[in-house]
Each structure stands twice: as C-alpha cells, then as structure tokens.
Structure 1
Amino acid sequence: MATNEIKLGINLRQNKNARNTGYGKYYPEIDTQTTLSLRGFAKHMSDHGSIYSLDIIEGVLKKITQCLPELISQGVPVRMEPLGTFLPTCDVEKPILSIAAMENADPNEVVKGVHIRFLPYGVENDNITSRRFKQEYCSLEFRNIVDTVKVTVDGKEKKVTTLKPIATAIAEFKSGQEASAPSTGGSSQPSTGGGNTGGGNGGGDDDESYGD
C-alpha cells in the first residue's frame, strides 16, 4: 500500500489518430510538476530529518554529477541500489562492412554519439519494478484532460497544451446528456386522432415535446 500522502496526478489524453485501434479512447499521462534543481533536491533531502546540512548534501550531489559521467565515459556502469544502473550506450554513424575493413577503421567515424542511459531494476527482490513502485510509493488521483491545439500568435502557428479538470468534463458531459434527453413528462397526453383535436394546437405541442 502506498505511503506517500502527496498524490501523483494522472492526466488523460484522447487518441485522435483515426487509423489507430485506440482511436477515441483516453490514455493516462503523468501530471509532472516543476523540475527540481540540484539545490532544490538537496533541500528536500535535508528537510527529511537528515543529520547532514544542506551544503553537505548539495556538495555530495555535485560530486556525483562530476564522477558519474567520468566513470560512464570509461565504460563503467554505476549501480544506484535499489533504483537502477547508469550505463553508456552508443548510436551508430555507419557500420563496418567487413572484418577486412576493420583494420583501418576509426571508431569516431563509426560511433555517432554516446548516451548516458538509466536502466531501472526489475529482477532481484529488492529492486523497484514499475508495479512495485506504484503500489508502495504512489497514491494516484485523476486531474485533467490534456489536449494539444494549434493557435496563431502574431501570425505564427504554435502548439499549446490545454488542461480541463476531469470533474468539469464529467459534469459538462452529464449536463449535455440531460439537455439532449427526450422529454417524456408533462400534463398533456399525445393526441389519438379524430375530431378537431387532431389538427389543433394540442397535437402540435405534443409532437414538439417528444421530438426534443
């Protein structure tokens, strides 16, 4: 059971790709907040009953940001139990065609770029898998329906993100259903025909109310 009192917000975005099997359905996205700076992260740690001062924690974190790239650039993965492992991977610029071509090959011409990747744990008992993280750490709540729309500002088209609270969307949907529902009540009864009542105003009123 999750122990975190601060909720993790879940937004919903509608699939608008008509060629996709999920067209029209709503899919979850994390409602991310403002990114913490390194100092902000250090302050968060120091506020959690740490015996270390803010400056000491910040200093250790800064040292990590210096040493981690150094080790990864040497091909040394770094494990941060129980979160996961930082490791290097590379992009290919162009492959070597044969063993014969390897003799004069330059690795700088073969490798396009080197990435620092993070691989979450998911095997050992003390590892944090996605389902375990959700169950033990996260307390979820729905927040907004997210959409991306195009607007024109100063003659230039740009994309903006819109948010509508899910509770508001549900209320609007229910209100729309009630407004479009046919009316079955009222004091007058439908005309059964015959005499002057069939063509009078009473018959017309009844037809109109049933058509709404």
Structure 2
Amino acid sequence: MNIFKTTKNSNPIKETINLNMMFLRYSWIILRLIIKYFSLILLVALVLFLTKKYVDYSSTVYLIFIIPILSLLILINLIVIYTRDYLKYKKKKGNFRTSNIVILTLFAISVLHFSVNYYMENKSVYLSANLNESNTKLFLYSDKTFKIAKYWNHGGDNILGKYELKNNILTLKKDDLEKISNFEITHRYNIFSKDRIITTDKKGFKNLIFD
C-alpha cells in the first residue's frame, strides 16, 4: 500500500502566462489613470510652482492673468472627470472613489502649500534695509531667516536663507549668495544700529541702509 499521496504539479508555463496577463492588466489600469488625471495634476503642479514662497522664487504681475486661466482649466478638468465618472456610474460600470482620492489629495497638498505661503508672507520682520542706490532690499525675520528682494518693473526675484546675528555681526547663510544676487549681497556684514547702517568690509559690495 502506497502511504505517499501524489500531488498534481502546477504548470509553470500557465503560471507565467497568468502573471504576464496580470501585469498587463494592472499596467493598463495605471496607464488609464495617468491619462485620466494627468492634465489635472499637471495644472495643479504648475499653479503650485508659480505661487511658491518657501524657496527662492520670482514673481511677476502677469500671474494675475496666468493663475485665473490655470484655475479655469482646472475647473474644466474637474467637470470633465466627474461627468465621465457619473456616466459610468449610471451604467453601473464605475464609481467616484478614485477621482475623490486623487482630488482630495491634490486639495490637501494645495491647502498645505498656501498655508506655508501665508506663513512666509506674514512673518515678523526683525529688520529691513535697502541696498544703497539699488532696488534690492534685505529682510531679516525674527525666526532667523532672511529674504533678499530685488524689484524690477513687472515683478522681482527673491532669495531665501538663514542668518546668524552675533555681536552685531550679521552672517547670511546661503550657498553661492554672491553669485545668485548678481554680486550685490555678500555673506558678512557689520550692523551699526545707532547710525542705521549695515556695512561690509568686502570690496565691490555696497552698504545697506535701514528702512
């Protein structure tokens, strides 16, 4: 009497085919999702990029025209996405779950983005000064961060970083600061509060005057 039970061996070719079919199926699903939400994600990312205030950025008055146009395109995308979902839902071939997850995620990221922007724009200013005979301003904030704002006709460039103030010696901690600021601002200054002036010993760089 044979005490060993025989087991039926699986077919490796069949398993490979099944795995390939599963891979193709999920790849197709992911591709469809990318196609469906790509333009929406791209538009939201573009708005966030153009409105960022927490890293070095440039601003322009033309944003008052660009942002509304992008917002309108985002709204159109939302209408198209939910219209398609509704038609599929009506035919019992889909639901709103994926769209809700994607849109709620984008909304949460946007809320976080604009909350950080609001904080950056409303920080307590410890000291502000103008570069002599220039449209460049230096802002020192109470949280030990700084902003260098260079204004031009239709906007401006903004450089962000951290600073250290010890014994009236100001050190701006920013890699390649001189190059980024077009050699208008250097790393080390002396602050003379009574004279309301910030001076530097480095040749080729001008002093700053308190506002």
Question: Which one has more relative contact order, counting CA pairs under 8 Å at least 6 apart?
Answer: 1
Structure with greater helix percent: 2
Q: Same fold (TM over 0.5)?
A: no
State the TM-score, normalizing by the size of structure 2.
Answer: 0.21
State the TM-score, normalizing by the size of structure 1.
Answer: 0.21
| Structure with the greater alpha carbon radius of gyration | 1
